[in-house]
Structure 1
Amino acid sequence: MDLGIDRQALVPVVQQIVSAVAEWIRRDGVSPGTRLPSVRQLALDNLLSQSSVIEAFERMVAQGVLAARPGSGFVVAPPTALTEGHWYEGAEREWGAFADNPLGELKLGCGWLPDAWRESDDISYAIREVTRTDTGGLFNYSTPLGLASLREQLLKRLSRMHIVTSLDRILTTGGASHAQDLLIRTLLRPGDSVVVETPGYGNLYRQLAFHGVRLLEVPRTRAGPDIPALEALLQRHRPRCLFIHSLYHNPTGTSLNRAVAERLLELAGSKDFLIIEEDVYGDLQHAGCTRLSALPHDDRVIYVASFSKCLSSALRVGYLSASTTLIEQLASLKTLTGFGTSRFAEAVVATLLANGTYRKWVQRLRKRLSIEMAATLQVLEDEEWEVFAVPAGGMFVWARPGGGDRSRLQACARRLGVLLAPGALFNPGGEPSDWLRINVAYAADQRAQAFFRALGPARSTSTILKTTSK
């Protein structure tokens, strides 16, 4: 077996072995139980040390990709060992944005922070504080609207964002996706039409499609939804809702400007539709920004946010603000479908908000992301990648290489141990696209840097062919 080891590459040899074997299993559809070449033979054929091959194989055993057979060497693990417990954004393996990644590849296109960036001590302290002072949180349901102490903290947060609301207009949820699901079930029926941005968040598209809702696409520009395109749509259709990311849009990283925001609110009033504004990355803002919810809107705007992206994906705590009538309906559905949300998780987040820990953490996170954003944009410029827009903050850049087709791009990424989130993930119909979502928190990794350089226009063809033919 030729592993195609490149000793000039920045990727460690052991990782190259892991990636090459994993690619062989995926590409050739190797059956479970298939025996791999012996460690000695594989090392001899590829001019490697046996210790490097053993380390790579043992890593893949720990990840559930291979299994060790005493006296028989290593074999491909059965499917249950390959897939059990591994969830990934987008549901299709080829999209590659794994949350739990058995092959150790770089999740360059994922939508969350690296584990190494997390500050677990602060969360651990909050957990100890909750278990010490609020024993009911360990055993009891939360209230239909959510834990009162958390909603009080959320009211303060929304007030600082100039969003006018009250305690009876705030509902906690199990993350932003849960909030969206409650809204879709309550506001929409099969056959209804809604406006969505494209590119946009793939999971929202699938939620809407699951409920039989028709998607009307409006292009996302650097300033927000394309207003002329939206106005043309509204001449032909009567959508019930418009779904939008105002700040640090996923995946383009762009933010809404004031003129577009005001026109959206005018259209919502004249054409009689609601706007659902998702703001899961809004805490990463550096300076002044425009939120639809902070402008006069006569209850036309529903605000949705979450702590999952910035704080912890395991603490599934989100919330929304809407009219009291809609909040009552959502609270009834929330109770009916899940007996409420986790009181314990809500108490932990309330503690982090009350003691200032979350505010200080987000301040540090903004600075770190700002440094990584500048560095990523610089290397993309140096390698002549096309960038859709220069984000004012957040964690995403929407970009595409200056040369090379999609198949070569994917082959190069696989060879370097990089997992991508290609443009097809962010199109309602899954149409192929040259654009990629890049998470700047992962872009300083040597594998990402090698990937950016390999796809530069001056080297795109020769470098990709060289890299993928090994």
Structure 2
Amino acid sequence: MTKIEQVIDYIDMQLKSRRLTPSMRLPSVRLLAKELHFSVSTIVEAYERMVSMGIIEARAGAGFFVCAPLEPLILSNIEPIREKSLDPLWISRQLLEASAQLIKVGCGWLPDDWMPHESLRKAIRDASKSSISELVHYSSPLGLLGLRELLARRLYNKAIEVTPDQILLTDSGSYSIDLICRFLLKPDDVVLVDDPCYFNFRALLKVHQVKIIGIPYTAQGPDIEAFKQAIEQYHPRLYITNSGIHNPTGATLSQPTAHQLVSLIEQANMVVVEDDIFSDFETTHSPRFSALDGLNHSIYIGSFSKTLSASVRCGYIVAKKEWIDHLVDLKVATSFSNSNFSAQILYRALTDGSYRKHMEQLKIKLAEAMQFNVQMFEKLQIKPWIIPKAGIFLWCELPTDIDIKKMADYCTENGVVLALGSSFSQSDRFQQFLRFNVAQCMHPDIFSILEKAMRYARHAPA
């Protein structure tokens, strides 16, 4: 490739990544020559060729400007993809498309037989008996009133005091975050996330073309000093986290850390979005930003996809009233409505008296599974980062002599899908980590497969 072709290729990538958009001015000839370490004449020739190709145009006395149409939003153009096994979008697709026979020990949901099938069937039957208008019409902009009233009562138990008109129903937790990002962010804004964090946070933020900064996560919450430094250096707009049970570590936020963070967030005039979809797994309540600051600089989101059904798509956003009004407008513009039928099913499943019993039994099963997994991992020299108080995740470190990628390949060939630690982080800190779902690890074959995989992936002694 000639130097001129390299310049054209460089500009083409800027266009595909949307760093350059229609009518934007290109770097001056001298500036780009200095940046790429090419001669001015090379840049001039490359620009002239792009003018003849109809990609850019020259404006007398002003420079060169993009005249090509906006490129389609292809996420792989925004950020170089590392190995496929570490790409959040690839991981999600593989888990969602995996056959029922695969053992998904790293996934974020419970096994089918741990879910309340009969309660769901009954809720569906009851919802199907609703009036014709409820079965076929769009929902109101805020969503089913009865469900919002129920959610307001449930939130009161977490010390989050809201009225039903401060709750907006959506079709999922992920869509809730997307809607909030549309409302609060513009390209190149800075968003703080935990390091490690749920991998789809980064995938979703990538769509919004923002700068993502990872804050080291500790057993008590994000590192306060690192959080302060990030505020001073980057002036972030948002912080997105799991304030209850953290994904992937299983940690819970401590009271002192929560209070310090609320103060920092208020001083920086930024917003924290707390994704609390694992809330009902808790045995004791941890602090919530929304309770501590009264939703002044916080937005709370939730769903029941982990405890009731991922197929019945229904999430919700809780925020101050004026923000909910604007979010309703965005919801109408982007999805018009949400699934009224899903909301009806969810409302009935939560109010028929069986949900509380289901969760009590589920917490006992998860506690037993957690204890069993910790014991079995200890035999394999797989070390949990912490022993979580509740939830489904164990964040584990493997011995340094294990080739994680080789181990993952072996497991895949033998019907086991792992969640590699590096996919939860932009840093190199977690290359020897795996996220395990303790409920999915109750499969009778899993530990023998892991043992064989580790033996296969172990480096030979020097």
TM range (shorter): 0.7 to 0.9
Alignment partners' CA distance in 2, 1:451 and 1:347? 42
The structure 2 residue matched to 1:373, chosen from 359, 370, 375, is 370
2:408 is the counterpart of 1:410 = yes
User: Matches of residues 294-309 of structure 1 in structure 2 within 5 Å?
Assistant: 294-297=291-294, 299-309=296-306
CA contact (8 A) 1:192 1:213 kept: yes
CA contact (8 A) 2:295 2:320 kept: no
Q: Paired residue for 1:450?
A: 448
- Code of the aligned partner of 1:446: P
The structure 2 residue matched to 1:117, chosen from 106, 114, 118, is 114
CA contact (8 A) 2:169 2:314 kept: yes
CA displacement 1:418-440 (0-9 Å, x = unmatched) = 11111122124799722111000
CA contact (8 A) 1:97 1:421 kept: no
2:238 is the counterpart of 1:241 = yes
Alignment partners' CA distance in 1, 2:186 and 2:426? 19
- Code of the aligned partner of 2:379: D
Q: Secondary structure at the match of 1:99?
A: helix
- Code of the aligned partner of 1:160: N
> Identical aligned pairs, as a percentage?
32
CA contact (8 A) 2:230 2:236 kept: no
CA shift at 1:414, angstroms? 2.7
User: Matches of residues 63-462 of structure 1 in structure 2 within 5 Å?
Assistant: 90-92=88-90, 98-102=95-99, 104-297=101-294, 299-402=296-399, 403-428=401-426, 433-454=431-452, 460-461=454-455
Q: Paired residue for 2:18?
A: none
CA shift at 1:262, angstroms? 0.3
Alignment partners' CA distance in 2, 1:250 and 1:282? 12
- Give the direction of change, closer, same or farther, for the CA distance of 1:250–1:432 in structure 2 (3 Å limit): closer
CA contact (8 A) 1:96 1:421 kept: no
- Give the direction of change, closer, same or farther, for the CA distance of 1:114–1:136 in structure 2 (3 Å limit): same
Alignment partners' CA distance in 2, 1:185 and 1:272? 18
CA contact (8 A) 2:115 2:307 kept: no
- Give the direction of change, closer, same or farther, for the CA distance of 1:465–1:222 in structure 2 (3 Å limit): closer
Alignment partners' CA distance in 2, 1:284 and 1:265? 24
Q: Secondary structure at the match of 1:341?
A: coil
Q: Secondary structure at the match of 1:302?
A: strand
Alignment partners' CA distance in 2, 1:90 and 1:310? 23
Alignment partners' CA distance in 2, 1:102 and 1:296? 44
CA shift at 1:376, angstroms? 0.6
CA shift at 1:110, angstroms? 0.6
CA shift at 1:274, angstroms? 0.7
Alignment partners' CA distance in 2, 1:130 and 1:391? 37
- Code of the aligned partner of 1:328: D
CA contact (8 A) 2:383 2:397 kept: yes
CA shift at 1:298, angstroms? 5.4
Alignment partners' CA distance in 2, 1:180 and 1:242? 12
CA displacement 1:38-64 (0-9 Å, x = unmatched) = xxxxxxxxxxxxxxxxxxxxxxxxxxx
CA shift at 1:124, angstroms? 0.8
CA shift at 1:202, angstroms? 1.5
Q: Secondary structure at the match of 1:218?
A: strand
- Give the direction of change, closer, same or farther, for the CA distance of 1:465–1:219 in structure 2 (3 Å limit): closer
CA displacement 1:175-223 (0-9 Å, x = unmatched) = 1101000000000001111111111111111111111111111011111
- Give the direction of change, closer, same or farther, for the CA distance of 1:219–1:327 in structure 2 (3 Å limit): same
- Code of the aligned partner of 1:113: L
CA shift at 1:290, angstroms? 1.7
Alignment partners' CA distance in 1, 2:121 and 2:153? 24
CA displacement 1:305-360 (0-9 Å, x = unmatched) = 11111111111111111011110011111111111101110011111222222222
CA shift at 1:410, angstroms? 1.6
Which shifted more, 426-435 or 199-208? 426-435
- Code of the aligned partner of 1:434: Q
CA shift at 1:243, angstroms? 0.7
- Give the direction of change, closer, same or farther, for the CA distance of 1:384–1:341 in structure 2 (3 Å limit): same
Alignment partners' CA distance in 2, 1:292 and 1:189? 24
Q: TM-score if structure 1 supplies the norm length?
A: 0.75
- Code of the aligned partner of 1:157: R
Which shifted more, 419-428 or 354-363? 354-363
CA contact (8 A) 1:418 1:447 kept: no
Alignment partners' CA distance in 1, 2:153 and 2:146? 11
Alignment partners' CA distance in 2, 1:408 and 1:391? 28
CA contact (8 A) 2:220 2:253 kept: yes
Q: TM-score if structure 2 supplies the norm length?
A: 0.77
- Code of the aligned partner of 1:313: A
CA contact (8 A) 1:380 1:452 kept: no
Which shifted more, 122-131 or 357-366? 357-366
CA contact (8 A) 2:158 2:285 kept: no
Which shifted more, 390-399 or 194-203? 194-203
Corresponding pairs, count? 373
- Code of the aligned partner of 1:301: S
Alignment partners' CA distance in 2, 1:134 and 1:287? 40
Alignment partners' CA distance in 2, 1:255 and 1:231? 20
Q: Secondary structure at the match of 1:436?
A: strand
Alignment partners' CA distance in 1, 2:428 and 2:130? 49
CA shift at 1:448, angstroms? 1.7
